[in-house]
Amino acid sequence: MHALRARWLWHNCTSSQKIWDNLEIPCSDADRLLFAASTNIEIGDGSKISFWGSAWVRGQRPKDLAPRLFSISRNKRKSLAEAVTNNAWIMDLALFDRPITPHHIHEFCILWSEVQKIQFHPERDDAITWNFTADHRYTVKSAYQAQFLGSVHTNYDLIIWKNWAPPKCKFFSWLAIQNRIWTADRLAARNWPHEPTCVLCRAALELGLHLFVECRFTKRIWEEVVVWVAVKGLKPSSWGDPPRCGIGGKN
């Protein structure tokens, strides 16, 4: 959804005629953060760039760089040109309506310094480019893929979703491998009623790792599965010898 909604922001910056002019764009702050991180702004006449909402400060938005100043601005929708002209962005700050803290002063100094570096080029329009396509134009596909940059690749698709197991088993395996089963530790973190110890061995705290790997009864089950399918790799080498007692044996 972020990728689809970010398209509104792209067209808002690049289309000369928009039927939604002066209307609020239906995008969340998460959509705007994705857009800001994925674009590069070249300042022209400053008419299309939002002073607070566009990432014109070395890829950062002033509203993120100076959030306390942003919160006390009486006009958050001015363009860069409108805000900088006669230091209008300063006049918009409600400096006398609430106590000013050292944090406000610190943010003001940072933003003031950045504003002084602005060089307008009245002869050309502002330009925005998309960082994740060869022609630097927005596509929904590239925006979707941008959300996964730096993420860790897994083989879940191979070992879970494309397996022969019933769908409910696949879904349970997916939850278990991400430690999202409602074991005692997760219930305790939410102050929900729970039995703290493992319901199988009654000898350890019920954690996901314990329940599926470390519990002596779980180990015995894995041992039986190894024999059944004749695949030794299913037994983690760190387990050591399997327990010798039966299900009804002593701890």
- Give a yes or no: residue 251 inside a domain: no
CA distance 186 to 188: 5
One domain for residues 142 and 186: no
Q: What is the pLDDT of residues 43-79, one digit of tens each?
A: 999 988 999 989 999 888 999 999 999 999 999 989 9
Q: What are the φ and ψ backbone dihedral angles of 92, each rounded to 5 degrees? A: -75, -15
By three-state DSSP, how is residue 93 classified?
Answer: strand
One domain for residues 104 and 57: yes
One domain for residues 111 and 28: yes
Q: Is the pTM of this model over 0.75?
A: no
CB 177 within 8 A of CB 156: yes
The pLDDT confidence band at residue 164, using thresholds 50, 70 and 90, is confident
Instruction: Check residue 58 and give left, alpha or beta (phi > 0: left; psi -120 to 50: alpha).
Output: left
Q: What are the φ and ψ backbone dihedral angles of 26, each rounded to 5 degrees? A: -75, 65
One domain for residues 221 and 139: no
Q: What percent of the chain has pLDDT over 70?
A: 89
One domain for residues 17 and 139: yes
One domain for residues 38 and 128: yes
One domain for residues 129 and 41: yes
One domain for residues 129 and 189: no
Q: What are the CA-CA distances from residue 39 to residues 146, 155, 209 (Å)?
A: 11, 31, 42
- Give a yes or no: residue 192 inside a domain: yes
One domain for residues 234 and 136: no
- Give a yes or no: residue 248 inside a domain: no
- Give a yes or no: residue 247 inside a domain: no
- Give a yes or no: residue 160 inside a domain: no
β-partners of residue 129 are 40
- Give a yes or no: residue 56 inside a domain: yes
- pLDDT, mean over the chain: 84
Number of domains in the chain: 2
- Give a yes or no: residue 6 inside a domain: yes
Q: What is the pLDDT of residues 82-137, one digit of tens each?
A: 999 999 999 999 988 888 899 999 999 999 999 999 999 999 989 989 988 999 89
Q: What are the φ and ψ backbone dihedral angles of 197, each rounded to 5 degrees? A: -95, 160
One domain for residues 125 and 225: no
One domain for residues 129 and 219: no
User: Among candidates 115, 123, 119, 111, which has minimal Cα distance to 84?
Assistant: 115
Identify the domain containing residue 48 by its residue range: 2-146
Radius of gyration (C-alpha) of the chain in whole angstroms: 28
- Give a yes or no: residue 250 inside a domain: no
One domain for residues 215 and 142: no
Final residue belonging to a domain, choices 130, 146, 162: 146
Final residue belonging to a domain, choices 146, 173, 200: 146
Q: What is the pLDDT of residues 24-42, one digit of tens each?
A: 777 888 888 888 888 899 9
Final residue belonging to a domain, choices 146, 170, 203: 146
Q: What is the pLDDT of residues 190-227, one digit of tens each?
A: 999 989 999 899 999 999 889 888 899 988 888 888 88
Q: How far apart are the two ends of the chain, measured CA to CA in Å?
A: 52
| Residue 232 in this model has a pLDDT that exceeds 80 | no
